[in-house]
Chains A and B, each alone.
Chain A
Amino acid sequence: MSDTASKGASPPGREDEVMVRCERVWKVFGAGAERVIAEHGASVSDETLARHELIAAVRDVNLSVNRGEIFVIMGLSGSGKSTLVRCMTGLIGLTLGRLLIDGTDLMNISTRDLVEVRRYKMGMVFQDFALLPHLTVLGNVVFPLKIQGVERGAREARAREMIELVGLSGRERYYPHELSGGQQQRVGIARSLTTEPEIWFLDEPFSALDPLIRHEMQDELQRLQGILRKTIVFITHDFDEAIKLADRIAIMNEGRVVQIGTPEGLVVNPANDYVAEFTQKIPRARVLTVRAVMGPPGRAGGEPIPENALVHEAAERVLAAEQPLPVSNARGELVGSLDRDAVIRVLLEKDRG
């Protein structure tokens, strides 16, 4: 699947440093899966799988996650997204393919090395929080450091730092059942960050929360990412959430990655009807950048708009202005202009295929 990110958009991730790379990853459940897949390769048909009573949860997935980006894997239930993230973390083995975490092939390392990778490289947040019921907030957050054998004073200091970071100071002695869902997930987040992981896996972290709390937690995640700049693999079934958080999104359906792209790229250029189903309901002003809708530089005046601003951020100024506003790039050069018509067309959702 081609990367349809619009030209010139530079995701915050640094493409020269790939933190997670999936190469032709297959995960097939059922007896004798390895043999059948090895025999037929990537061209294996649904009939062949059905004949051997196999279920392909992940099919031929190729993708790479760059350092520092938020990479969202979005799919409905049964699309294989959870299986894929479990492959990435080594919780389940692959049937075929390669999985590289910061250059290390997960399938070719010993159990002990895998434990090391998990202790120092990865952190994970779970949908149902997966807190340990018998430990306090502090006990939960300190847990990953404790099993590493970090000395008590150091680990508790670090854990308190994390608890403060997620805004739970004062609740260190509470037990999980004494906290609300949102607070519990904050504990889950703090716990996954105590070891200072480089790659942060979030498996539908907010799906179990009420809509209001969910929005609050999404903002919280953005705030944290602003501070921490982790490499994030975020799993969700909620396209709005994906659009809001993602630098890039991979859309999965029936085990395959259907399209990978920036939110804007997906909305402007859905690869097929399946993706279009999701993108149709997204207000375009919230994903389109000014660059995507601007006209050629011409008669324009006033303070320039940055080209990577979203249309809905610029809309108010453009609509209030007498004449089109100039658009500038990161270096301050004028690269185009934006007039009312263009903004209104976006706001009114014209031009939708």
Chain B
Amino acid sequence: MQVPQRRLVHLAPLALALGVTAWLKSWEEIPRWVKYYPRDWKVPADKQLDALFNFFAEEVDLGLFTFKELTRGFAWVIERLLLFVQGVFAKGFEFYGDAMTPWLVIPPLSWVAVTGLFAILAYWASGRALAILVAVFFAYFAVFDLWENAMLTLASVFVAVLLGIAIGVALGALGYRSRVFNAILTPIYDIMQTTPIWSYLVPVLVFFGFGPLAGLLATVVFAMPPMARVTTLALQRVPANTSDFGDMAGCTRRQKMWLVMLPSARRSLLIGINQVIMLSLAAVIVASIIGAGGLGADVYRALTALRIGDAVEAGLAITLLAIALDRISQGIAMRRPVHEVESARNLIRRHPLVTLALALVVASAVLGPFVPAVKSFPDSLTISTGDVWNDVVKWLNVNHHETIGGFRDFFIIHLLKPVKLFFIRLPWPAVILVAVTLGYALGGWRLALLAGLLLTGIALSGYWKQAMISLYLATLGVLASMLIGAPIGVAAALNRRVDRVVTVIIDTLQTLPTFVYLLPVVMLFATGEFPAFVAIVMYAVLPAIRYTKHGIANIPRPIIEATDLSGATRMQKLFQVQIPLALPDILLGVNQVLMMAFGMLVITALVGTRGLEQEALTSLAKVRPGTGVVTGLGIACLVIVSDRMITAASVLSRRHLGLATAAPAMA
């Protein structure tokens, strides 16, 4: 790479930005087409796609069956699976035959059995502490009368994770075998992960109909890519000698993949599965808003009806479920097999936990009909703290209305409004031009071309203004997150006690599904862009802290020791050595912050933002798949362009410091 040649170009974006500002001064003189992307120039891709989707859904006939019948048939298969799992956990099975009353009813697993099973699983994965924790969490679902919805959510997550793992491992293995395939798949994963969930919910609805299934499929699309990426990466990281051993032992290709490569990559794969579980949970919660039952629907319904208390209880249930699933799957990933002490012939002795689990299921099934409390948690014992929470909110509104409102208004007037106006008023050709030059300066002509094409695409789609609104909120979110997160990260890196507290908080917060973050902000600030902004910052500040801490903690010891020996004061050390050397890591962190900010931005459409994410959400209500896809891709374009720019900046700064280029961070 010819870094020196490009150094001059670094100045170009600055010059352009100055030019643009000068231009803005004489706002009136700018031709109208520069200020606003003309409506006539819009390429009606959204309308055409709407038509195309409808054509496929309603009219395409494949001879024996229509396209719609094909997709619905596919859906039917997966639906059986979902119904089965739902039956096991929540709904039970009823067999009708010809009569009006079922001749056979199989109840679902009782709450005692499910709680016990998960506690046993937790014990196996990690130990007694986690088992107790998980048992308490599941008891919470029962006590607060959220059992059935929690189980519905769990069933959806279960099926989504199964599908996600199966598809992800298959695609990941293909990506490992063929470099071409990997090169094709990677950008597709990027798009899948950055496109708002609303956007693929719409086409899924059109093809697969309403119901839990639509949400499930959208969840798989959203949660599968990390599994595929992790699989490819994990296979590539299997030690060369282990792979060679597979060949030397005389494995066939299939034997080598299934018996040598995948088992050797097991630990990384399990960490990938943990990601799939957490992403699936987040997506299932969001998807349950559009028709599928479950905890997400509880929260949403309660929120819209302003029953804050119920929303908090259900939100807490989501939180507990997330923590339980995360800790269990992490425990399994970290688990190492231990040899059996003796070869017990007795099956029961050899597998005590399995035996216990089976005994529990059988016992609860037998006792169920006689002891109602085993079958379902007695209603008389369920409690609700809803009123307490309602009172808290009431109290806040009555006593602190002015403080909170004043706080909110201050930020809206002095920060959000002006920045938003600035972004909207930026002439679109100038934005594209700046992006192209910046892209060239940071990453060469490829990046310049990418930035130019994607941003022009947004302009052509006719959603430029909405895109700028999304961009303004995300940018502000990133900046605020870095401003808040970086100092905390520095403090955590320098002080062990701070670190311990911060780590616990971050570990818990980052397991929470995005949707949960909306709860407190809506309670405090109602709806609009300010609560959205706060939610974004709360969510995106986590990687800002983590990466800053990581960057500073990872500076090689000899450098720190040399600095100390040269007599630097603590401040000199921090500002002249530690922060500059941590910069590449911090920049990678900015990248993660950006991803998280956009991830949350998409969800904040629910509390009334105005950008592309909102267009995508409303397209869902209006069943306009074309609009959903176009606006969703718009967000994906914004994310991809900013992501590539920041990655390029990180690589540049690494090279500048003479450090080896790190592998690009995985989303």
| Chain A interface residues toward B at CB < 8 A | 86, 89, 91, 115-116, 118-120, 122-124, 126-130, 132-136, 143-144, 147-148, 173-175, 177-178, 201, 203
Contact = CB atoms under 8 A, between A and B. Distances in A.
B399 interface: no
Interface string B322-351: 000000000000001111100100000000
A126 B243 CA distance: 11
B249 interface: yes
Given A126-B241, A133-B264, A173 B340 contact: yes
B266 A134 contact: yes
Contact of A175 (B241, B250, B336): B336
Please list the 10 inter-chain residue pairs (A to B) with the smallest Cβ-Cβ separation, ordered nearest first. Answer: A119-B250, A130-B241, A126-B241, A130-B245, A173-B339, A118-B250, A144-B249, A124-B248, A174-B339, A130-B242
A120 B249 CA distance: 9
A243 to B, nearest CB: 26
A284 to B, nearest CB: 36
B334 to A, nearest CB: 13
A147 B251 CA distance: 7
A174 B260 CA distance: 18
A134 B264 CA distance: 7
B245 A133 contact: no
Given A86-B244, A126-B241, A115 B250 contact: yes
Interface string B227-264: 00000000000010110110111111001000110011
B363 to A, nearest CB: 32
Nearest to B340: A173
Contacts, number: 71
Nearest to B250: A119
A107 to B, nearest CB: 16
Contacts of B339: 136, 173-175, 178
B239 A130 contact: yes
Contact of A91 (B239, B248, B264, B343): B248
B248 A118 contact: yes
A177 B259 CA distance: 18
Nearest to A118: B250
A127 B241 contact: yes
Nearest to B262: A134
Given A128-B239, A128-B241, A148 B337 contact: no
Contact of A132 (B244, B255, B260): B260
A93 B251 CA distance: 18
Contacts of A135: 263
A159 to B, nearest CB: 13
A143 B266 CA distance: 18
A173 B343 contact: yes
13 contacts: A89-B248, A123-B248, A127-B241, A130-B244, A133-B264, A133-B266, A134-B263, A143-B249, A144-B249, A144-B250, A148-B250, A177-B336, A178-B339
Interface in B621-644: none
A122 B338 CA distance: 32
A128 B245 CA distance: 11
B250 A132 contact: no
Nearest to A90: B247
B249 A118 contact: yes
Contacts of A118: 247-250
* Residue in B245, B259, B336, B339 with the greatest tally of chain A CB atoms within 10 Å: B245
Contacts of B266: 133-134
Nearest to A115: B250
A110 B309 CA distance: 71
Contacts of A144: 249-250
A157 to B, nearest CB: 16
Contacts of A177: 336
Contacts of B251: 115, 147
Contacts of B248: 89, 91, 118, 122-124, 201
Contact of A126 (B244, B250, B263): B244
A126 B245 contact: yes
B245 A147 contact: no
A227 to B, nearest CB: 22
Given A130-B244, A175-B337, 20 more contacts: A86-B244, A91-B248, A118-B247, A118-B248, A118-B249, A119-B249, A120-B250, A122-B248, A123-B248, A126-B241, A126-B245, A129-B241, A130-B239, A133-B264, A134-B266, A134-B337, A147-B249, A147-B250, A147-B255, A175-B339
A72 B461 CA distance: 69
A170 B242 CA distance: 25
B259 A147 contact: yes
Nearest to B266: A134
B426 to A, nearest CB: 46
Contacts of B244: 86, 91, 124, 126, 130
A115 B251 CA distance: 7
